[in-house]
Structure 1
């Protein structure tokens, strides 16, 4: 996890926490630069850090250097109305840079409880949880929020608040007393470690099994699972990294560890953005206002009406207007196609006239061919224009579905023009086939 702080460690050998901290502050700096380049207000970030240790089922504050190991911890674990877990009595440090964050991590890591066993010279005798709380205040992306603050130029900027919590958990390895040779306090610590891992495994099994998840998840069996409650089954994404040994002597431990981690893969969480309640409510109200404005506009234009029985419906005038608009657009397409046909027929007049050695029959035949070709071209142009009109109508109908919850009668009425277009295209194909056959017969003659 990166809490050892070995001397002269290479960059590619850094642990998970140092890498995550570097990535976090790099992302913050990139967001600030993008805001400056686009001329928008720079988002504000507030970052806090906590470092807890779970030793013999006691929650200890690693940032508190004055704590007495002999006294009982007074840290309490609570749950808020949204299911989030928070602690009371824990030291919280505000940091503003990657260097300060790493200093906090190093300070807490040096206070962790370690001891020597037959399997590890510097064995962790506790579970450690390094928590980062991130709060971001940025300009609302939609630009329609009601949280408006003046930017000094007479305009109003709209802000929203987003929060996130990162739990970096360094779990102590499971121990067999026979292998570690632990006695006395070391044996008691090993038993406490195994109890915490067992409770965590039971929670993972309950969350991964859909039938068990619906009944009861034993979060309260251990303080470890209680602290990680919102990280395992809440609004979060969880990654578990299993540490195994290549030695054949540790085959059973390796197999059990892989099974343990494999069960965590079955947990499926639905992640959502953590917005403050004011932003969520304003966003919902903004959507409702847009829907009501659209509905009011439809009433004003006569598109919607309320009958005597109080049932809402579309007015007959709206349906008639829609049909007239469709017919008008079709007539315009026909006029355009006819105009192009006339222009095309005027161009090859010299071809239709027989030459010195030609006959009137050949000229009439060529003239009929040209007429058939231009008729087919007119129908093809008309069908293409009708298809384009249908695409536009379908796109409008799809946008209306977001306000009315489903397809309306207007989208159903589009099926008839679509069928008519298909018939026109099919007729044009048949005419082209006939024309090709006639040309082949004329060539044979």
Structure 2
């Protein structure tokens, strides 16, 4: 079996050798899915996984815009349309200086499995730009978004490709992007998700990724007869996902100890309660300040510069910042300090070595493609509401989100349970996501 996996990975590496993040994502899937393919004749010999690692379409384009000083700036824009076997491409747009083809291909590949796991009819895609919104004025961001959509519009549509937000793309950016799409297309359609409440958005969508991650962790804890009540929780990040993960943890009786950004992390031994979290939301969402500004109001907390928070003892860890932020030494520190559960709120935030350490210790570990699928699931619910020209209540959307996360957990249990009862959620998520897409690809023939 190892030779089959190696031969497959060697072929993928030959074609994509310079794309480390993409290769990392493919390797994780291949190691769990190829043995399943070999054991099931319906998939064996059809090169389905090889077809899945090749994007159906890769779009790269120039984005020219004018800054406030009147100087013309040039950025690169991308859209990776990975797989549309079960529905239109669906996945976020990321605006960050680190954006490149490798990162977007890894995200798009992960999105295929994540969207499949939701059971909603959505294919996988991802896009973005190396544009950095930090330090830019609202007018500069508007001009960039309008220029970006001036090219992207021809490649998307409510039945073709429905982008959403991601790192660097929040409600402000979605508004600018949607405004230009509406103007160019001369139509009001649900072609972007994460829209404002007054113009087609869904309740719970801003909260969905963070809430969903906690709901999934809650399901994992229930398999051990436990819950969040009284548990200490370490969270990385301080953006949308981290904020609402923290909010839901507090609602379920947990104690949040940390939040972070690229400059370092804050540790509040007294706990980041609802009042303190509201202050963080104001700092990050309104004032766009760094996380260390938290200490100006709560001086008893500590700020640790240039580090991630995994050295802090906790019961539950939730990496909610970015890819490959949690390394093997971080995993060892968490385990040494008694961590019993890790649920990924970001996309692939744990390195391969860190994941191996969690599996070896047999703690509860949820990969992002399962535990953070709540965001895209609620985007799918937003698409449904747009199509119906209807809006569900907050409780209705939240209930549907809980049900979807519960269904994803059941799928992981079905495909990931070992003979000794330990649940390998990585294997479970990969196989469950693969089966639905693979069945659709087989039914549609070689296309």
TM tier relative to shorter chain: under 0.3
Task: Work out which structure has the larger RCO, using CA pairs closer than 8 Å and 6 or more positions apart in sequence.
Answer: 2
Q: Normalised by the size of structure 2, how large is the TM-score?
A: 0.23
Which one has the largest radius of gyration? 1
